A and B are shown apart, each in its own frame.
Chain A
Amino acid sequence: MRRSSLVLRIVVIGYVGALLALPLGFVFQQAFSHGWAQLWAALHDHAMDLAIILTAKVAILAVPLNVLFGVGASLWIVRHPSKVSRVLDVVIDVPLALSPIIVGLVLELAYAQNGWFGSAFAAMGLRVMFSYPAIVLASVFVSLPLVSRQVIPLLREIGDHQEQTAATLGAKPTRIFFTITLRSIAWAAAYGVTLTLARVIGEYGAVLIVSGNIALITQTLTLNIGANFESFNSYQGFVGALLLALVSVLVLTVIGVSRHRLERKRHGSFV
């Protein structure tokens, strides 16, 4: 082994270790710094528990919505291309270029009481801003393209020979979708769903604006962490951060496995 490549290896491990692994480890160190008993008590903090429940409620609605939309839009873009679907293909990626703060701002401009839709919804007795629906909207917005970006390239790559064959043999569209299409995109979709879940649970800037950040009512877990930190209760903040760090380790594992499976599938499809 050449010395230069050994040096490069050490430099890279050092850089990634200092920039990524150190902060992750530090969250664990801080959360456990006061011992188990303190940690147990901090986990039962009322405001944090309500924030966890709210985050879970948002994820339960936002993730399935975006998975349905992501898979449906991908099928449309790849299998039924038209002028409309080409516009869809571009618009769907817009959230990637937007700052989370801008996402929060545009939703506020459209859905606040004095905004474009807000007045119409208010007339129906619905308040969108500073409540659960607004948080769901913001979460869905920021994670919109994460499923389709994984599914679209795979759908293009595998082609529609199998689907055509099944149709010729008389299979109904729903049956073709569930037995062929869904099965071949399963790992790409799993990858996208995991990224979506991570983004929804972890969103901060957009949710900060649209939720109003009201403790005990519209505070998600990320907002609760920020609020604890700003009120100099950093230990409580790090306990919340510990939970999110644990989720992120789980997310990394699923991402790693599904990417591995996807690569195997890709190499297999060339044979």
Chain B
Amino acid sequence: MRAHEDPRTYLAKGVAVGYLSLLVLIPMAALLNNAFSHGLGAFWDAATSTESLDAMKLTVTCSLFAAAFNAVAGTATAYVLVRDRFPGRGVLNAIIDLPFALPTVVAGVTFYTLYGPHSPFHVNITGTWVGITVAIMFVTLPFSVRAVQPVLESLTVDAEDAAATLGASSARVFRTVTLPAILPSLLTGTGLAFARALGEYGSVVFISNNLPYRSEVSSSYVYSLVSQGNDPGAAAVALFLLVGALAVLIASNVVARRLALRRG
């Protein structure tokens, strides 16, 4: 820190702290305050009501399936993007980011029309876990691909080539050389995808039909509580969901760091 700083720097820092407080810190404090406004018992009852738990089970199941499937599909995609050469590779690389660019509500209404009651393919998966999982797979694919891709790029092909020259099959080369190198980033990317999936709303809400106890995801349940004016209930379920997402993010980062350290 310099001995005397420009007063304008202090002003800028003050503005930044104020901005962040008004926007994030104070509203988050309001969430805590509301969640426990009727005491710990009321918080627990709201967070673990049957409807809340059913929504939580569905959300976690679909998010797990989507994140796990995309861990495999995303690795394959990153592998093809880095190691393979073919016309159109640039377009394939660019379109991976589509879920970051296309609004979730557009994805939501499109999936509903593609795989709903008037599906051009005569496939109706609305109101099922499959439909919810497909929507989440759309949203989370770039997380896995973009986590693995840079590691594959920096990984020299020497070790893979050496293993192949010594007679290892390509599956064995992947398992013993490539996979251990990409595993830490793959884990971080999958954790991020899973955390994002737990809170997904716009892309899921149309295809899920939102039937309580059956096809209602947690974010949708929170929304229904807000619409009913039940702020403490909504805050309790939201806090539960938020702590879950943070736990997943922290756990995947810790495990990934351990794995990376063990490799040296």
Contact = CB atoms under 8 A, between A and B. Distances in A.
Interface of A: 2, 4-5, 8-9, 11-13, 15-16, 19-24, 26-27, 30, 69, 72-73, 76, 80, 82, 84, 88, 91-92, 94-102, 104-111, 115-117, 137, 140-141, 144, 173, 195, 198-199, 201-205, 208-209, 222-223, 225-226, 229, 234, 237-238, 241, 244-245, 247-249, 251-253, 255-256
A99 B202 CA distance: 10
Given A97-B242, A102-B199, A248-B101, A16 B16 contact: no
B178 interface: no
Interface string B15-35: 011011001111110110110
A20 B245 contact: no
B106 A13 contact: no
Interface core residue of B34, B84, B103, B198 (most chain A CB under 10 Å) = B103
A157 B20 CA distance: 26
A109 B141 CA distance: 33
Nearest to B203: A204
For chain A, what secondary structure do more than half of its interface residues adopt (helix, strand, loop), or is it mixed? helix
Nearest to A81: B1
A110 B27 contact: yes
Contacts of A109: 27, 30-31, 33-34, 231, 235
B52 interface: no
Interface of B: 1, 6, 9, 12-13, 16-17, 19-20, 23-28, 30-31, 33-34, 73, 76-77, 79-80, 83-84, 86, 88, 90, 92-114, 134, 137-138, 141, 170, 192, 195-196, 198-202, 206, 218-220, 222-223, 226, 231, 234-235, 238, 241-242, 245-246, 249
B195 to A, nearest CB: 6
